[in-house]
Amino acid sequence: MRFVWFWTFWHWSREGFRAGSLLRGPLHGIAGHWDEWYRHEASPEDRRAVEDAGRSKAAQRAFVGWLARHWAREAEWRGSRPPARFVLGQLAHVAPFDRWPALEKYRASYGPAGVWAIVLAEGSAGESADVRRVEALVVPADADAAAPAVVAEGFEADDAALDAARRAALGMLGGTGLLAFLALWVAGGRRPYPRWLGALLALGWAAAAALAGWLLVGPDPGERLLPLVAALAALWAALVMTATGAAAAVVGGAWRLGARWRRRLEADQLRLRMSGGLRLIGGSAGVPFSLNALLAVYRANPAAASASWLWERFFRRMRAGAPGWAATGSVAADGRISPVVLESKLRACLRHEDISDVLTPWQRGARGRVIRQLADGLKETHGGRTAAALRVGGARLGFAAELPRLRGHRCRHLAQAMMSIGGLTSVPQVAVNVLALAVSAVMLAALPDLRGILRPPPAPAAVAPSSPSPYHLWVSLDTKHPEDFEVLLESRFWSNRRATVAAYGGDNASVRAELRLNRLDFQTVSDEEDGTVWIERRRRFLTRAFAPGERVGRYTLSYLTRLGHD
């Protein structure tokens, strides 16, 4: 077993904690514990082995590799594996590791940085050095109850500001912040469909809109009304089920995973590192701190993101794009972003070669026009930036380059920042959603009409009361859908009539059609009871009335006149 001495130290640390001689847990106190063990507890053999491990850079690298790949996976403390970067970062500052070249990069860095923060030095008007690298790491909670939830390394900040950033990150993992993020995604975010399916769905919505429009204003389809309406209803239902099913799956997965990550962030300690030794005044670095906190949670277990398409996509984009993104803004615990002083910060980003995008609060000074003006101003002042110099035959050639374009992303809420940095906003999806909402609104308004066509109510029977007035004929029907029927009178003695059916209240409340009887001037029979009353289906689509549907009832005039009076 290689590097047994490190295991010996680790076990001493764990036992010391259990026995009550060490206050801090083996993980958080690893630097101090190592210092103590190495000076006083290590055996001569252990010391020699440690010296051997540090004898050459290759040996040192071997130790680092072993610690990251083997020890970190086998060691365990309170159910969690120790994060290798954190352990190396702590050890890199204590003897003998503080003299090892192989640990040089761990002394100042936890590894890949996240979103840059823009923190102006005192008196600075906005220099590239004001754009500062931020690293974040989550570490299993320390056993020391006095340990803070957020540790600032390399800078000082108000506890309240750090806490707000942490709470905002927690909210984005589970709470109103996540709800806002999911709502933004539902409203206009990229979908997880393959491209062909997305195009098919868009076509489907367009087809549904066209079909609905045809039904509203096109020629009467006649006998084809039923298949057309069935096709429209089926298409709309399929589109709605697909859209809502996919959205529900994505939202559900994101919510569940977010809840797990939130529990982790609540229990763990967040360590933020930003070089410069600054004392931050105000909370204007809240946005990058919150975003990097999220990134740290993800990096602690990236494989978990596979449980949610949305989180996986967001973090994949963020991890890849973070080196080119800067952010500024004060963030509240609920995720809302407050304005900050901006001009110098934008200038700093414009001067920084690596920054292509900047997240800012929603304020006037962050508009694209303002950024372009600042960029033009810098170009005039500096005549462009010299990107490279080349020595050719003793002469030094400089290449003047355009200042890179800086894209500003204004945000009122951390959720908007996440949509921007995750590349989740999709203009085509917004258009499809608008179309889908319009079509769905029409379909929902027309649902009673569609039901009347697709699943017509049963044919009603004529019931009492009949009309108390001799001048009218009442055709009362036992139906709950008066709007779906019409009544016709065909007679050779009386004028033919067509009347709609409606619900009437009062003493003779009923669902009925009321027909005014007028004797024909040229009747062809003398039978005053000559007349057939037909019950007909009415077919409509919103404001459009189609040709009458089939007849579903036939009554004699004499029967209806006497109904209820036999």
Residue 76 touches another protein, criterion: CB under 8 A: no
CB of 73 to another protein, least distance (A): 9
| Residue 491 amino acid letter | S
Q: What is the DSSP code string of 145-212?
A: TT--SEEEEEEE--HHHHHHHHHHHHHHHSSHHHHHHHHHHHHHBPPSS-HHHHHHHHHHHHHHHHHH
CB of 328 to another protein, least distance (A): 26
Beta bridge partners of 118: 131
Residue 241 touches another protein, criterion: CB under 8 A: yes
DSSP 8-class letter at 5: H
Instruction: Choose, by CB under 8 A, the member of 101, 218, 245, 368 that binds another protein.
Output: 245
Residue 246 touches another protein, criterion: CB under 8 A: yes
The Cα-based distances of 52 to 11, 48, 58, 394 in angstroms read: 21, 6, 11, 48
Q: How far apart are CA 502 and CA 482, in angstroms?
A: 5
CB of 416 to another protein, least distance (A): 25
Q: How far apart are CA 265 and CA 290, in angstroms?
A: 12
CB of 14 or CB of 385, closer to another protein: 14
Instruction: Choose, by CB under 8 A, the member of 203, 237, 444, 503 that binds another protein.
Output: 237
- Residue 548 CA to chain centroid, in angstroms? 48
CB of 328 or CB of 514, closer to another protein: 514
Segment lying near another protein (by CB under 8 A), choices 192-200, 329-337, 377-385, 393-401: 192-200
Residue 32 touches another protein, criterion: CB under 8 A: yes
Segment lying near another protein (by CB under 8 A), choices 77-85, 377-385, 484-492, 501-509: 77-85
Q: What token pair was written down for 305?
A: 């993101």
Sort 352 into a burial class: Cβ within 10 Å, 0-12 / 13-18 / 19+: buried
Q: What token pair was written down for 427?
A: 């203009």
Rounded to the nearest 10 degrees, the angle between the axes of helix 225-267 and helix 176-188 is 150
Residue 526 touches another protein, criterion: CB under 8 A: yes
CB of 230 to another protein, least distance (A): 5
Residue 551 touches another protein, criterion: CB under 8 A: yes
Segment lying near another protein (by CB under 8 A), choices 65-73, 281-289, 341-349, 352-360: 65-73
Q: Which strands form 357-361's sheet, in the order they lie side by side? A: 131-132, 116-118, 325-327, 357-361, 407-411
Q: How far apart are CA 149 and CA 172, in angstroms?
A: 17
The Cα-based distances of 399 to 378, 382, 383, 542 in angstroms read: 17, 13, 11, 68
CB of 289 to another protein, least distance (A): 16
> Which residues between 170 and 189 bind another protein (CB under 8 A)?
none
The Cα-based distances of 123 to 119, 126, 154, 281, 305 in angstroms read: 11, 9, 20, 13, 43
CB of 25 to another protein, least distance (A): 9
Residue 461 touches another protein, criterion: CB under 8 A: yes
Contact 512, 502 (CB under 8 A): yes
Q: Which residue has the tokens 């019409």?
A: 486
Residue 33 touches another protein, criterion: CB under 8 A: yes
Residue 192 touches another protein, criterion: CB under 8 A: yes
DSSP 8-class letter at 514: E
Residues 88-107 as x/- pattern, contact with another protein by CB under 8 A:
x----xx-------------
Q: Which residue has the tokens 């355009």?
A: 402
Instruction: Choose, by CB under 8 A, the member of 471, 505, 506, 524 that binds another protein.
Output: 471
> Which residues between 193 and 212 bind another protein (CB under 8 A)?
193-194, 197, 201
| Residue 480 amino acid letter | K
Instruction: Choose, by CB under 8 A, the member of 467, 476, 491, 510 that binds another protein.
Output: 467
DSSP 8-class letter at 236: H
Residue 454 touches another protein, criterion: CB under 8 A: yes
Instruction: Choose, by CB under 8 A, the member of 160, 210, 234, 400 that binds another protein.
Output: 234
Instruction: Choose, by CB under 8 A, the member of 96, 111, 321, 324 that binds another protein.
Output: 111
Residue 230 touches another protein, criterion: CB under 8 A: yes
CB of 68 to another protein, least distance (A): 4
CB of 380 or CB of 507, closer to another protein: 507
CB of 378 to another protein, least distance (A): 35
Residue 255 touches another protein, criterion: CB under 8 A: no
Pick from 252, 254, 242, 248: nearest CA to 436: 242
Q: Which residue has the tokens 């997305």?
A: 198
CB of 146 or CB of 390, closer to another protein: 146
Q: How far apart are CA 13 and CA 3, in angstroms?
A: 16
> Which residues between 304 and 363 bind another protein (CB under 8 A)?
305-306, 309, 312, 316, 319
DSSP 8-class letter at 37: I
> Which residues between 128 and 147 bind another protein (CB under 8 A)?
141-147
- How many residues form the binding site for another protein (CB under 8 A)? 102
Residues 496-525 as x/- pattern, contact with another protein by CB under 8 A:
---------------------xxx------
Pick from 167, 27, 147, 2: nearest CA to 87: 27
Pick from 78, 81, 258: nearest CA to 185: 258
Residue 458 touches another protein, criterion: CB under 8 A: yes
Residue 68 touches another protein, criterion: CB under 8 A: yes
> Which residues between 359 and 388 bind another protein (CB under 8 A)?
none
